[in-house]
Structure 1
Amino acid sequence: MTRIDVSLPVASQPSVDVLSDQATRAESLGYDRVWMPETWGRDVVTLLTTLAERTDTVGIGASIMPVYSRSPALIGQTAATLQEVSDGRFRLGLGPSGPIVIENWHGASFDRPLRRTRETIEIVKRVLSDETVTYDGEQFELSGFRLRCESPDPRPSIDAAGMGPKAVELAGRFADGWHAIMLTPQGVESRLDDLRRGAELADRDPAELRTTLSLTCCATEDEHRARALVKQHLAFYIGGMGTFYRDTIAQQGYDTAANEIYERWNADDREGAMDAIPEALVEQLAVAGTPEQARDQLERFTAIDGVDALSVSFPRAAEPNDIDTTLAALAP
């Protein structure tokens, strides 16, 4: 049975209290886990600590914590602490993010993202294993680091984000799970082959890995508003976040649309970029419509063989009422 998680839009909501209320609402509705991303705005660690204190049973997770903005040792310390304050409910999602975020906003070089992700995962696992960490890698060299506090038991699971074949293979080889984003059902199925290949390269059982698909969702009584919010969200990512999302969409059979969205967005034609999104692409990447329509649409994604959890996420411009309606409509 596919689990239903939720990913809250930490940067765009009015306050931490609103986000906390949304998380407790998700807990009461039976969602399995509340994920929080880290992009720009509020940091994910403070928010997850707040949620750990204000919730009781729902899982919490970072999706995704960038591997360039913190050292691997600090990420390990943070994971240990969040596992402690949440009484074992924490799951760590890691990924490289992209050059716009890392180079333009953090001022760091977006160098060898897959290698950095791999080494970060390896180091974090060692930090959390109650051993003295000696590590000689291509990106990091560590000597003599060990948690002074007791290491968490159980160790929090570590997921890796990825859309390309090598990134997903890396998740299969080194992480405990994979976070998928901006993939159609067919795209997910294709990448699951990469995940299995990675697991086999590491002599691991692919069935032990958890696959989570992040799915943009908006359920409101105003169907046109729901679809417009989703289209604005997709246009922003395809057109405004570099070329990787554009190329990922193009590789899934929407080459003409992806390039037109990108070109219009970068010509400051935001409405044109939204108009260039085919209805078929919305249906393949998102859930959008009335609550009844949204529930029906969700079934298309729960039916994907190999996906263990769907993470209900929200358009960038979604307001608290939109989020509340969507949470209620898509609750497990």
Structure 2
Amino acid sequence: MPVGINVGHFFDGPPPRWGERVRRIEDLGFDGIWFAEAYGSDVFTPLAWCAARTARIRLGTAVAQIPARTPAATAMSAATLDHLSGGRVVLGLGVSGPQVSEGWHGVAYPRPLARTREYVDVVRQVLARERPLSYDGEFHRLPLPGGTGLGKPLRSSLHPLRPDLPIQLGAEGPRNVALAAEIADGWHAMFFAPAADAFYRAALDAGFARRPGGRPAGFEVVATVPVVVDEDIEHAADRVRPQLALYIGGMGARGANFHHDVFARTGHAELAARVQHLYLRGEKRAAAAAIPTALVEQVALIGPAGKIREDLGRWESTVVDSIAVQGLPEDLESVARAVLG
């Protein structure tokens, strides 16, 4: 199973020894390097930086926020980077949540699936470059009606290196996962649990059933997975618990936290509610402590290298085709030995 590194996004700045570690990711044999964005560092700039310092690894957005850019702007960035990197870009897209979409980007959030469908359609038209861009949708109308009246359909002046540049959707709910299967080239999963494989397999199959020709060749499921190599399993779990508490309890508002919903759907509704209650009260340590090790092991690879290699087999028997290690491990060599063999 191919394994990449999902760096996420920057906080105080790039990680220590950044350039050295990016080159080491490629040298160790990882499949790709992925970046995310929230409301700080963007997703394309660090990928361009990495493209200049690597030669083989894939360069993926996991994910580029749909409300952050017009679809044409996203297509421009992806196509430009694909040229500069020699065809290594994977464009992952996601709608984010209402707090970021409306609070940071000023873009209305309702009907995210319909917005995503139109957005992907426009991006594909720009990349295909078959005709000047014209679109009459509910959320995207090109050229813009009204205004000066001078807008006209345009064709990208850049000839894309790959008109079929792969597009993945970051999705967690079953309808969004099905949408990825219907309109995209892959699904980028977060908090995937092998025990829930049948649930996600059914969601994907529902989407493929709506797609002419069914599942396309090359459709890829990538799962971002926390990996902690440590002889002490509890110590390893302790390094994952705060992050799980943040996402279950604090990412999004009460009643509008899609990460929380993942755990509620997979049989942990009571625990997820407790973690959220503690986290939103400011009791972050208590929220993390409430997460049992067994739950950490469902969505993460933790413990000694031998255990991780054995547990990785659970992902290999699911719909997942490749994984991306969540975060940038301090000891890349230990993680590589555990997950790359």
TM-score normalised by the chain length of structure 2: 0.89
Moved more, 208-217 or 49-58: 208-217
* SS of structure 1 residue aligned to 2:246: helix
Q: In structure 1, how many angstroms separate the alpha carbons of the residues matched to 2:185 and 2:119?
A: 14
* SS of structure 1 residue aligned to 2:227: strand
2:228 is equivalent to residue 229 of structure 1: no
Partner of 1:187 in structure 2? 196
Partner of 1:6 in structure 2? 5
* SS of structure 1 residue aligned to 2:101: helix
Match of 1:155 among 164, 167, 170: 164
1:80-122, Cα deviation, whole Å (9 max, x unpaired): 1011011001110001011222223333322321111111111
| AA partner of residue 228 (structure 1) | D
Deviation at 1:177, TM superposition (A): 0.7
2:141 is equivalent to residue 141 of structure 1: yes
Deviation at 1:224, TM superposition (A): 4.0
Moved more, 195-204 or 290-299: 290-299
1:293-324, Cα deviation, whole Å (9 max, x unpaired): 333322222222x221111113xxx7x52556
* SS of structure 1 residue aligned to 2:237: helix
* SS of structure 2 residue aligned to 1:288: strand
| AA partner of residue 282 (structure 2) | D
Q: In structure 2, how many angstroms separate the alpha carbons of the residues matched to 1:167 and 1:192?
A: 13
Q: In structure 1, how many angstroms separate the alpha carbons of the residues matched to 2:5 and 2:310?
A: 18
Change (3 A) 1:207 1:134: closer
Q: In structure 1, how many angstroms separate the alpha carbons of the residues matched to 2:163 and 2:57?
A: 17
Equivalent pairs counted in the alignment come to: 326
1:120-156, Cα deviation, whole Å (9 max, x unpaired): 1110000001131111111101131311121223531
Change (3 A) 1:35 1:271: same
Moved more, 294-303 or 154-163: 294-303
Match of 1:285 among 291, 299, 302: 299
Match of 2:317 among 299, 303, 306: 303
Partner of 2:82 in structure 1? 83
Is the CA contact 1:216–1:286 (under 8 Å) kept in the aligned structure 2?
Answer: yes
Deviation at 1:205, TM superposition (A): 3.1
Give aligned-pair identity as a percent. 33
2:286 is equivalent to residue 272 of structure 1: yes
Deviation at 1:35, TM superposition (A): 1.1
CA RMSD of aligned residues (A): 2.0
Deviation at 1:26, TM superposition (A): 1.7
Change (3 A) 1:167 1:19: farther
Match of 1:211 among 195, 217, 221: 221
Partner of 1:239 in structure 2? 249
Deviation at 1:207, TM superposition (A): 5.2
* SS of structure 1 residue aligned to 2:63: strand
Moved more, 122-131 or 213-222: 213-222
* SS of structure 2 residue aligned to 1:93: strand
Q: Show structure 1 runs of 5+ residues with no match.
A: none
* SS of structure 1 residue aligned to 2:56: coil
Q: In structure 2, how many angstroms separate the alpha carbons of the residues matched to 1:114 and 1:195?
A: 15
Q: In structure 2, how many angstroms separate the alpha carbons of the residues matched to 1:207 and 1:279?
A: 38
Moved more, 197-206 or 29-38: 197-206
Is the CA contact 1:168–1:195 (under 8 Å) kept in the aligned structure 2?
Answer: yes
Which of 1 and 2 has greater Rg?
2
2:187 is equivalent to residue 178 of structure 1: yes
1:28-68, Cα deviation, whole Å (9 max, x unpaired): 11111111111233211111111111100111111100100
1:169-225, Cα deviation, whole Å (9 max, x unpaired): 111111111111113113243122221221221213325211111111222455444
| AA partner of residue 138 (structure 2) | E
| AA partner of residue 106 (structure 1) | H
Partner of 2:123 in structure 1? 124
